[in-house]
Structures are given as C-alpha cells and as structure tokens.
Amino acid sequence: MEQDCFKKVLRERGLKVTNQRLLVLETIAGHPGEHLTAEEIHGLARDRYPEIGLATIYRTLQVLVELDVIDKVSFDDGFVRYELGDAKKEKRHHHHHAICRKCGKVISFEGDLLETLEEALYDTEGFIVTDHEVKLTGYCRDCAKEKQEDGRSL
Amino acid sequence: MEQDCFKKVLRERGLKVTNQRLLVLETIAGHPGEHLTAEEIHGLARDRYPEIGLATIYRTLQVLVELDVIDKVSFDDGFVRYELGDAKKEKRHHHHHAICRKCGKVISFEGDLLETLEEALYDTEGFIVTDHEVKLTGYCRDCAKEKQEDGRSL
DNA sequence: ATCAATGCAAAGGTTTTGCAAAAAT
DNA sequence: ATTTTTGCAAAACCTTTGCATTGAT
C-alpha cells in the first residue's frame, strides 16, 4: 500500500502523520498525468475536507517535495505545479513536457536520453542527479498553423 | 554588430528602438553564463541609466523573449531568470542546468541529445520546438557529502 | 503629428509567515 | 505532556497594469 510507505517515510523523518498530509498526497495521486497548482489541489482537497487551509497545502507540498514524493514543475505561466514523483516507484521513469508558447498547451511524453548525460555530470562534477525535467518550448500543431498564417497576412 | 541586428529586428516588428531596450540587452549580453533576475538586471542597468524603471525592465524582457533574443529559465527559487538566447548565433547550442536542491548552486553545461526527441515530437504531435531546456536536480558534490554525513548521524 | 514606450505608483496574484488553537506522538 | 501542525489573517513577494509624460518615427 502506497499510503503505508508514505506514513513510514514521515515517521522516519520525525514528521507527524496527519489527515491533511495524506489527503494532499491522495489528491495528487488521484490525478495522474495532470500538473496541478497549489490552488487546484486546495480546491480538490476541500471537496473531502472543507476546512483545510491553503497555507496547509503549501506547507505540505514543500514537505512532499523534500521527501521526493512529488516533483515541482513550472510552465512559465506564473504557477508552480506539482506531479507525483517517479523516483519512488521504478528506477526512473522520464516525464518530459513540451509547452506551446502561444496557447500554453502542455504535451507530456517519455524518453530515456539522459543516462549518459547524468553519468558524465557525476564524473566531472560529482553532482548526483535525483530528478530531471526536459522542457521543450515551441508551437503546437494548431498554433504553428496560425503563426504561419499570421506571417502571411503581415 | 550584434546591436544593429537587434535594431533591425525591432523595426521589422514595428517596435521602437529605445535606449532602455538596448541597455537591457547589453546588460544581459554583458554577463554571459549568468542567469540574471529582473531585479538584478534593473540594478545593473541603473548603473548606466539611473532613471530606468523596473516596469520597463519587465516589459523589455517580455519583448526580448518574444523576439527569441533571450530565454527564460527558472530554478524554482521564486525568481524567473533570463539568459542570452542561443537561437540567434548558431543553429543550436544546448545549454542545460543542474540545480542543487540543497544549496541552489547551478552548474551549466552543454550537450546534444535532443534532436531525435524533437523530431519524434514533430512527427507524432506536429509540435515545432523552438527552444529547450534540460533541468537536472540533485545534489552537488559538497551537499552530497553533507547529506551522507547527516544520514549517518541520524 | 502620431503612436509607442517610459516611469511612477498602485494593484494584482501567488506564496509565505505569525500566532493561537488543535492534533499527533 | 510535549511538540508539531493547522487555520486564519496579514504580510511579503514578484510581476503586471493604469495613466500622464516623454520619446521615437
């Protein structure tokens, strides 16, 4: 059970197991593939626990990031977003994102290209990689089309 | 001359060539390899142009990003940072960053691993990549050592 | 002369913090 | 019983916006 593991990790660090912390984790885990903001998580969590405060969400997210349970991602739209970390489950997944500069649409995909890079970084700098993110920016199919049309009309 | 090219790009888009815009670009160009925040750029720009306002910095940065002259990067420390874009100079450089989770140190390095990924993305999704960033998080040499020691002592 | 860009100050929106009350160990 | 965590509200923070003035074409 995923939850027991989380409880154990909390206790190992001397942190307390609270309903709020379990709920935040469950909320994120319940929306796989999405990139929720703190406020979105707050909204979802309140469905099941109406008195939970936004500050608790933020504080819990910090804890979860620190414990490597979730990852922070940012698509440069002014929000920090969170998604379930891969580190715990398998050795390495490899979630990457392509972000449209025009409409902001995010395409997620997987790929395994970074092993050699990460090894080289350890060899040359002694840097130990615990997570990675590949962020591609550009134009999605629809916006690329529009952009081409705009160019013609100008 | 880099500046004449920039002036041309501005005029092509119907934007005006102002001292402030030139100064912001020069400021960023004058600090290669650094990842300046808006406020840092403001501070540096004011040395040469004391009356320049922070709002102008932000507005100029937006323009420069839109013109592909600079790139936005974020190291999840609450600041958006800017660096000179590579797109203009050569076909593709490939600046990547390794960010220490503990001390925040950023190691920049280069690598060319993404061509196949970008081609695949175009083939499957029609997504046109204009920029990319590889962000590795982990522990730098010093912090990795500390972390190991912390673990022992607990 | 026209229209965009600037500077200032105020507003906006996300995230953090202080503190008393509540909950977990 | 002790210590952490919560919730609320206020504060802090970076960034954007409104508007009159200045500056570029």
Question: Measuring CA to CA, how many Å separate B76 from each of A16, A59, A63, B105, B132?
Answer: 26, 16, 15, 12, 17
Cβ atoms A72, A82 nearer than 8 A: yes
Q: Distance (Å) from CA B31 to C1' D21?
A: 32
Phi-psi region of A96 (alpha: psi -120 to 50; beta: other; left: phi over 0): beta
User: Strand, coil or helix: what is B81?
Assistant: strand
Tell me the pLDDT tens digit for each residue of B63-97: 999 999 999 998 888 899 999 986 555 545 567 89
Q: What is the pTM of this model?
A: 0.86
Please tell me whether residues A78 and A135 are part of one structural domain. no
CATH number for the domain including B21?
A: 1.10.10.10
Find where tokens 């390899």 sit: B33
Beta bridge partners of B84: B70
Please tell me whether residues A9 and A77 are part of one structural domain. yes
Please tell me whether residues A22 and A51 are part of one structural domain. yes
* pLDDT exceeds 60 at position B149: yes
End residue of a domain, out of B88, B108, B128: B88
Is the CB of B137 less than 8 angstroms away from the CB of A130? Answer: yes
Cβ atoms A126, B141 nearer than 8 A: yes
Please tell me whether residues A81 and A12 are part of one structural domain. yes
Please tell me whether residues A128 and A84 are part of one structural domain. no
Higher pLDDT pick, A110 / A90? A110
Query: Does residue B17 reach within 7 angstroms of strand D, measured from its CB?
Result: yes
Domain that holds residue A104: 89-154
Q: Rounded to an integer, what distance in angstroms lies between the CA atom of residue B98 and that of residue B138?
A: 7
Q: Rounded to an integer, what distance in angstroms lies between the CA atom of residue A27 and that of residue A9?
A: 18
pLDDT for B1: 64
Please tell me whether residues B70 and B108 are part of one structural domain. no
CATH number for the domain including B128?
A: 3.30.1490.190
State the total domains in chain A. Answer: 2
Which secondary structure element, helix H or strand E, spans residue A106, and what is its range? Answer: strand A106-110
Closest residue to A113, CB basis, from B100, B113, B140: B113
